[in-house]
Structure 1
């Protein structure tokens, strides 16, 4: 396999289509119109029953910024515990301070709680003042496996120079996962430049909103 294709999906139908169309793993979300929230537990269970590829679950209690209250952090902990019980492959979250730097303390708390699940830090990193410095901070946290990023830009194409640098900085200690308008039409060209091990997108294996028999 030249690289991993991770499909961002919303619900059982898109999840099933993603696997059928060649995705190697999925990120399962709810409400993609606001860039994804935590799906219902019943949805996670149903997807787990129907898929054989790894499932990573978005842990995001609300839309908007990534500065969370103690109550929101408590809810995220409960969502992570539920994902551990269901034995999914990993969880996806990101927490910032009010100045948009990474909240390393809270990220460590959730990462420790998530073990042995994989931990993905999502595109909240793109809001930080320096994504490469933020990546290096995350590399010091045991248990963080993947960083989902557009290189601080609106799309992976616009951020490809930064993404290439992030891949080089990671030294294979964690997976830099480029995202941002990556689809089955542009992924090969992007891969030639960036050289990542995996890529993420809603249309990474084509359109997923086609109705097929589950």
Structure 2
């Protein structure tokens, strides 16, 4: 199975001719193209940087058989054309086995309502948490680690990695950090920092076996 990193929180999983897309949002410039190439789409939550509503609506108009999964708010915005998932669910998408962990978005501020957020464990190996540091009740080989955003904090990210204890860590959700900020994240959170594991940065459009 191959993992391809795209801008911000968007990734694809491929295995042969099968393609599974996770969190194509408006911060991902080629979101519409990625959606058109996907056999199924997973959305962790409704925020625009993870969920390009207009691109998905357009693709569902063109290809009604496209399967999209996400919380209830995603289904509502797609006019009922998504399958609602929640913590504890297990299902298959594009031939990939998916387990759902987590229920809510991380707190940004007490004045901002907390929304639903689900994380996806793909093939029992790779975990995409969306916008949350909630620890999944499963062993994780590769953790996709959010490192920037209004809800993130490096100390909490370090504790998340320590609690999950993955074999590999790939940073995502990095778009709000400059190159200097991303280097700082690697130093503080990496193998010589708080987690003891290297942050394996994957350039946009590049892939790795997982």
The alignment's TM-score, normalised by the length of structure 1, stands at: 0.41
- More strand, by proportion: 2
- More helix, by proportion: 1
The alignment's TM-score, normalised by the length of structure 2, stands at: 0.42
Which of the pair has the greater relative contact order for Cα pairs under 8 Å at 6+ separation?
1
